[in-house]
Amino acid sequence: MLPQHLKQIRVLMLNDMENLERTLFRLEQGFELQFRLGPSLQGKQVMVHTNYPLEGQPFERKKFRVLTWNYPSGKEDDSDKFCCLDLKRAGSYEYYFGYGDTDKSGNGYIVVDPVLRVGEDDHVLPLDCVTIQTYLSKCLGRFDGWLDRLCVAKESGYNMIHFTPLQTLGESRSCYSLADQLAFNPEFSPEGQSYSWTELGALVEKLKTEWNILCITDVVYNHTAANSLWLKEHPECGYNLVNSPHLRPAWILDRALWHLTTRVAEGRYKAKGLPADITSESHLNAIHGVLWQDVFPQIKLWEFYQVKVESAVEQFRTQLQNGIKPDHIKTGGKKGLKIIQDPNYRRYGNTVDMDSALETFVPHSSSPQHIEECCGWLRQKLNDLNDEQVHIVHQHQEQASNCMVGNVMYERLAEHGPRLGPVTKKNPLVTRYFTFPYQDMTLEQEMLLLDQPEKTCHFLAHNGWVMGDDPLRNFAEPGSNVYLRRELICWGDSVKLRYGRGPEDCPYLWDHMKKYTEITANYFHGVRLDNCHSTPLHVAEAMLDAARGVRPNLYVIAELFTGSEHIDNVFVNRLGISSLVREAMSAGDSHEEGRLVYRYGGEPVGALVQPSLRPLMPSIAHAMFLDVTHDNECPIQLRSALDALPSSAMVSMACCATGSTRGYDELVPHQISVVKEERFYPKWNPSAAPTSAGEVGLQTGIIAGKLALNRLHQELAAQGFIQVYVDQVDADIVAITRHCPSTHQSVVAVCRTAFWDPKSHQYETNIPPMFIPGKIEEVVLEARTVEKQSQSYKKDDDYINGMPEYTVEIKEHIPLEESTVVKQAGVTSKGRSEFVQEITFQKLTPGSVIAFRVNLDPKAQKMVGVLRYYLSQFSPKYRRGSVAEENPPEALRKPLAQLMSKLTLADLNTLLYRCDAEEQEDGGGCYSIPGWEALKYAGLQGLMSVLANIRPNNDLGHPVCANLRQGDWLIDFVSNRLIHREGPLEQVGQWLAAMFTYLKHIPRYLIPCYFDGILVSTYTTALDAAYKLMSSFVQNGSTFVCHLALGSVQMSGVGRFPALPQLSMKLEDVPYRISPITGQKEQCCVSMAAGLPHFSSGIFRCWGRDTFIALRGLMLLTGRHIEARNIILAFAGTLRHGLIPNLLGEGRCARYNCRDAVWWWLQCIQDYVVQVPDGHEILRCSVTRMYPTDDCEPLTPGEVEQPLYDVIQEALQRHLEGISFRERNAGPKIDMNMRDEGFSVAAKVDPATGFVSGGNRFNCGTWMDKMGESERARNKGMPATPRDGAAVEIVGLSKSAIRWLVELHAKGLFPYDGAKVNRDGKDVFISYAQWNQHIQQTFEACFWVSGTPQDPHEKHPDLVHKKGIYKDSYGASSPWCDYQLRPNFPIAMVVAPELFTGQRAWRALEVAEEKLLGPLGMKTLDPDDMVYCGVYDNALDNDNYHRARGFNYHQGPEWLWPVGFFLRAKLYFAKKLDEETYDKTVTLVKNVLSRHYTHLERSPWKGLPELTNENGQFCPFSCETQAWSMACVLEVLYDL
């Protein structure tokens, strides 16, 4: 087994209700396929079923098994779990998946390529190496002469031969009309000999082992020869008038047309303008006339679809007279007459459904008069319906008439048609659609046969094809009128086979065809499915299953004419087709032919290196690209003889299987008919004269050129030249490059096509020069088709001979100087890395080809080799073509992982992230791509996000790739911003700069590929280094956990100016640096940005509330304990008025205008103590106070220090005493919008309830802090959501803090058990235990909204808008605000679950889920509220008070961070209820989180946004990535 990093793994994301039957997924043997759950399925109990068998088990299409899930992180995490298939066998396999009661909520197919082997050593023949040549088997002559004829394929360089069927042929001698599918054609045996399949098998084996040639043949499932003997014994195998009575009208028309043929042939219509020899338009018009005057009226086909009116009316009358009522169960009580089509299709055989008649025509009474009236209504209706059938059949006959005349026109008048001459019984007016194995008789006599099933079972429908028909529909089955409308282009020698739905419908046919298939698979390496698009899919499926049972690595090819790639995919998927036949002849000019070369294989030159583990991308079917197929028109007739070589060369340069048909290389100037050709192929003789008809050699046609091209094609595929570039040099010249991405060698073929004969078409004489990048090592081949003095072509009677007047002049493997096609080759150097050769041509005549082998110039080749050597430490994909450096530069002597291991997470923030505003502080910025946009980050993630979109589709035209090809600016930007740093980051920058030195010396077209390789290597190494510095929760976590944890690196960094106030000098593990501004030593603690890009730098970077909501998730859970401690203590130093600042402003510009930040800070200290080993030590840590008194100026660090527990005590004491102050510098200087009253801050503990309350209607002290800004809408200075009184989350947070301090005090870890306060002039001691108990007792009484009018606790029953919820606040100045449904109570549930009764909590959470939960966030207000508005637009200024200037910021838009608390609350209370509820909740949680995972993966910021507009829509005013959004989702995963 391959090591994991070398194994090719493809990941298929499953999405609910996704049917991928028409999407093609191709895989190779040895690949691993992983099924993973898309967002719509995460959290559901999904089961994946497949019919891919267990190892050693046979394949059974209908036998499915369930795959088991793997959990890489050891936890049941839906974002990472996968089930997989180790693909070791070729074929087509189905998968489907379902969950719950849904058995199938999505499905699709995978197609695994076969592995072909040739030679005595059984070496692998890659599919792209295949070069195939088709032989019409009947033209090979006797079997003992085959080797001499097949030797032409070997000597022309082909490695696969396609034989048309080798079975006994039918009367028509068509290669595809087989009389006996099981017998080897006896005409291959000379008299006295009898060759069989055994001798053929020996020949095929000889070709494989000695000639390195594989053999395939056709399988024909759709029809059999009309004279097949087994068909006489088993007429049920075809569509006859017994098993398919719906064809009876079409048969009658067919017989009538046959009788018309005999009359026309006898000249009986000459007087009506229709002679036997049809030569003009007027004769065609006469056919229309005869059909409508003589044929259609005589056969009255409409009668087969009509009702016998009087007998139906009589039956109806009898039922009415007998008082019979309709069966309402059958009619459903609905009126409407139903006619039942006669299943035997007899004239007037249709009947009336009497229940529908009785329901529709109801007499007013049972009186005879009313019954007669009712019968009259029915009679009228039936006559109308009969008339309608006449009209419908009339339309069918119009189509039939047009189709017949069109057919006659093609067969007798058209220039390109067969020109059949006069109408005779041998060449009838139109081909017969049915067999008629009896003596001639009159039409009237034939009609009498219709009642004799023993005769009609032998009237069998012929096969053919229908222009523009749905290939997935069987045109001979009931419901199709193809035979009646004469739309079938009919093969009169073949009978269409009728398989039915399965073997039980026609046992003999299924058994017969299965034997045929097994014989074929036993002797041949592959099959071509003839007429594949018309073969019933279930038949072909079953037969190919049988074939693969005999030969597992069966190569299957087919030509499809569905007209739709998606329908092609249905056939490829269901049948496991290995290659679809494509044809260069379908191109109308050289440009289109070049497009086909590009379309059918390979990746673009300079494509980015794909990782071994990557998404499974839909693909197009593997192509078998032929210059011409054996059943199509001859290219020499359609183009010119000179075009054979250049078009062949273009085909040979395609990165797929290629091939041709015998005769093309010999320049046979006509189509070799699969029906009429009876001559033999010439034999091989190396010294054959070009004029010889019975022998061919290298002088014949373009054989010498084709040999060189086939060798080249096989070499390019075998050596990994998988990249393709097609350049249209001028109207006729196409240059095709095949490039090897590991050695960077190219072969460039310049082909001058000759679509028009030079004798009649003027070709351009001035050929533009070509510029070929690199150094031309040799001319691989140059070949010209030349006309020689020779006798002109004469069709031989015995042999299929070609045109002797043309041959190929060819030279192979010559130096450029010896070329006769190239005039001169100049060398130009374009910059330090571009080595370009200019080629001018002298003899690139129409019909010529030249191919150059090109290497990079020696210096660039060395640079690439060294680059690959250094990159091979990251991926073995770079080993091929790598060259070790003797004297590596200093920067590259240490492995990158070693350099990375010295980086801190703060360094990694610089390396990976930093948005534009953060970089600008240092005088830089994010790189901006001219004409496109700026990268999101200056660090590697900025580029990685863009490259991740470029890589899967190789979008080399992307502006970033263009920028890299144009110059070194972006390359230098990446390394220079790191070199300007100090320490380990500088070393990483030097490593990158050294790698980029090599990069700059390779051709520009390769730079995107290697730049991506260097960046991917650096980035993945950096991520590994980051995870190693984090907690085991992250290191052992799922991909989702890891990517969220990177939010910690993204948000936490050190800027040019320290964002945090200074910490006490007594603390250990505080980081220091030399200030870039003062040159002095200073602390450089990590601070946390609230969100990017809006809250990332300057005084707007750090916010108390945001920091402490995000701290547990981003710092504590990720193991960043020291940094968490430093942030807690830095904020502690800024405590003032008993509050923690909202906007930190480095402490000096702090604003103390929020009531909640201090409680979030206390919650974080509690979390720190719980989460961190010996976490209680933080309580004794020294805090250096900036504002030891409310009114002092900021003190210098160290002046006043106290332990953290004293700071905590002060915060609680101040709240118990009551806080009331006016903000410093109140006015527009600190807030342009706030009214004067808003600058007054108040917070206290309500003695009646124990709740912390405060605020007023002019300020907003909680996280819902939008202040009105619009003068026009008159909301300026008015908070949208004041939430004054006791906000529910503050009550929960304060309860959590007090309960915790009571516990700490009991353990002797906190010195205070309460606080002294002055109440009404007296000092009163309030114990924390008392306070804790007080809140516990009053909470539910005050906050629960029962909705019952009699509830004694309900002060405002008239304001209840939603019942069964918890209030958003208690005691608001506008009482109705208390009753608004918002997502804040789940916060209290998580931090203080003891406040809530389980059943009530659950009910409230269910309301919140129904009303507030959005795709990513929680609606900030009940959508039923009259002021709800879910779209936030901060730029909109209008007259709408509730919306202008984003006033509705928290009145509907869906914020992400509350989702974390909501889901955690659901998990907590579900566990308290019962197991079933908990399981359902886990499902919900996973499902919600899957949407976050998807957003995170797709976001170029690699983050979760601050908010979305309603229903998860993008909000352009939101931060693209927000600290608390990432943190709170990470906390849910921790709880899971």
Q: Which among 655, 605, 577 is positioned nearest to 773, based on CA atoms?
A: 605
The 10s digit of each residue's pLDDT in 386-421 is 999 999 999 999 999 999 999 999 999 988 888 899
Distances (CA, A) of 903 to 14, 474, 924, 984, 1048: 38, 68, 21, 6, 15
Where residue 530 falls (left for φ over 0; alpha for ψ -120 to 50; beta otherwise) is beta
CB 144 within 8 A of CB 190: yes
- Total residue length of the chain: 1536
Q: Tell me which long-range contacts 412-417 makes (C-beta under 8 A, separation of at least 24).
A: 412/278, 412/279, 413/278, 413/279, 413/280, 413/284
Instruction: Tokens 């130096």: give the residue.
Output: 815
Looking at 128, 355, 568, 631, which residue is catalytic? 631
Contact between residue 1194 and residue 1150 where contact means Cβ atoms under 8 Å apart: no
pLDDT at residue 831 in the model: 62
In this prediction, residue 141 has a pLDDT band, given cuts at 50, 70 and 90, of very high
Q: Which of 250-254, 875-879, 914-918 has the lowest mean pLDDT?
A: 875-879
Look up residue 1060 and give its amino acid: L
Query: Are the C-beta atoms of residues 1109 and 1160 closer than 8 Å to each other?
Result: yes
CB-based contact 986:979 (threshold 8 Å): yes
CB-based contact 375:359 (threshold 8 Å): no
How would residue 2 be classed by pLDDT, with cut points 50, 70 and 90?
Answer: very low
- Phi, psi angle pair for 689, to nearest 5°: -75, 145
Q: Can you tell me whether residue 555 is helix, strand or coil?
A: strand
- The single-letter code of the amino acid at 957 is G
H-run or E-run covering 1073: strand 1072-1074
**Secondary element (H or E) of residue 47:** strand 46-50
223-225 and 1507-1508 as β-strands: parallel, antiparallel, unpaired?
unpaired
- Whose CA is closest to 176, among 224, 215, 143, 134? 224
**What confidence tens digit (pLDDT) does each residue in 187-230 have?**
999 998 999 999 999 999 999 999 999 999 999 999 999 999 99
From residue 1122, alpha-carbon distances to 67, 96, 796, 1133 in Å are 45, 50, 95, 17
Distance CA 741, CA 881 (A): 9
- The pLDDT value recorded for residue 1419 is 98
* Options 533, 630, 1137, 1492, the catalytic residue: 533
The partner residues of 615 in beta bridges, in order of sequence, read 11
Catalytic residue among 77, 80, 180, 530: 530
C-alpha 166/C-alpha 149 separation (Å) is 16
pLDDT for position 1460:
98
Among the listed residues 786, 656, 797, the one whose alpha carbon sits nearest the alpha carbon of residue 717? 656
Instruction: Give residues with Cβ within 8 angstroms of 588, minimum separation 6.
Output: none
Residue type for 1410, please? E
Hey, which residues does 1507 pair with through a beta bridge?
1455
1065 — alpha (psi -120 to 50), left (phi > 0) or beta? Answer: alpha
Q: Give the per-residue pLDDT at 1120.
A: 98
How do 214-219 and 160-163 pair as beta strands?
Answer: parallel
First-to-last C-alpha distance (Å) of the chain: 35
Cis status, amide bond into 1093, omega within 30 of 0: yes
Q: Which residues of 1220-1257 are buried (b: 16+ CB within 10 A; e: fewer)?
A: ebebeeeeeebbebbbeebbbbbbbbbeebbbbbbbbb
715 Cβ contact list (under 8 Å, min separation 6) = none
| Residues 847, 759: Cα–Cα separation, whole Å | 13
Q: CA Rg, the chain, in Å?
A: 42
DSSP 1114: I
- pLDDT value at residue 3: 44
| Residue 1123: closest CA among 1197, 1071, 1163 | 1071
Residue 844's identity, in one-letter code, is: L
Q: How far apart are CA 1137 and CA 1157, in angstroms?
A: 13
For residue 128, give the nearest of 745, 793, 825, 600 by alpha carbon: 600
Between CA 865 and CA 855 the distance in angstroms is 13
Q: pTM (2 decimals)?
A: 0.89
Can you tell me whether residue 820 is helix, strand or coil? coil
β 160-163/746-752 pair status: unpaired
In the block, residue with structure tokens 């009087």: 310
Compute the average pLDDT of residues 1019-1026: 97
Residue type, 85: L
User: 1420: buried, middle or exposed (CB in 10 Å: 19+, 13-18, 0-12)?
Assistant: buried
Is 631 annotated in the active site?
Answer: yes
Residue 350: C-alpha distances to residues 302, 311, 345, 518, 707 (Å): 11, 11, 8, 46, 67
Whole-number pLDDT of residue 833:
59
pLDDT tens for each residue of 829-868: 666 657 888 899 998 999 999 999 999 988 899 999 999 9
Name the amino acid, one letter, at 341: Q
Report the half-sphere exposure of 1081 (CA within 13 A, side-chain side): 4
- CA 609 to CA 606: how far, in whole Å? 9
pLDDT reported for residue 1? 36
Is residue 1352 scored above 60 in pLDDT?
A: yes
Helix (H) or strand (E) holding 750, with range, is strand 746-752
Average pLDDT over residues 68-75: 89
- Residue 1142 in tokens: 């909202």
Average pLDDT, the chain: 94
pLDDT of residue 696: 95
| pLDDT surpasses 70 at 1239 | yes
pLDDT at 449 over 90: yes
Structure tokens at 1388: 């209290």
Which pLDDT belongs to residue 5? 53
Please, is 758 exposed, middle or buried when counting C-beta atoms within 10 Å of its C-beta (0-12, 13-18, 19+)?
middle
Helices (H), 559-689: 565-575, 590-599, 635-638, 644-652
For residue 490, give the DSSP letter: E
pLDDT value at residue 564: 86
- Cβ neighbours of 1529 (radius 10 Å): 27
Q: Looking at the predicted structure, is the pLDDT value of residue 908 above 90?
A: yes
Tokens 């190496």, residue located: 129
Question: Region 458-475: what's the mean pLDDT?
Answer: 90
Per residue in 487-498, pLDDT (tens digit) is 999 988 999 999
pLDDT digits (tens, 9 = 90+) for 1383-1425: 999 999 999 999 999 999 999 999 999 999 999 999 999 999 9
Name residue 1366's beta-bridge partners.
1344
Asked if 158 and 130 count as a contact pair (C-beta separation under 8 A), the reply is no
Told to judge if 533 belongs to the known catalytic residues of this protein, a careful annotator would answer yes
Residue type, 1258: F
1055-1104 pLDDT per residue, tens? 988 889 999 999 999 999 988 888 899 999 999 999 999 999 988 999 99
Query: What whole-number percentage of the chain has pLDDT above 70?
Result: 99
pLDDT, mean of residues 131-158: 97
Handedness of CA 1340, 1344, 1346, 1347 (dihedral sign): positive
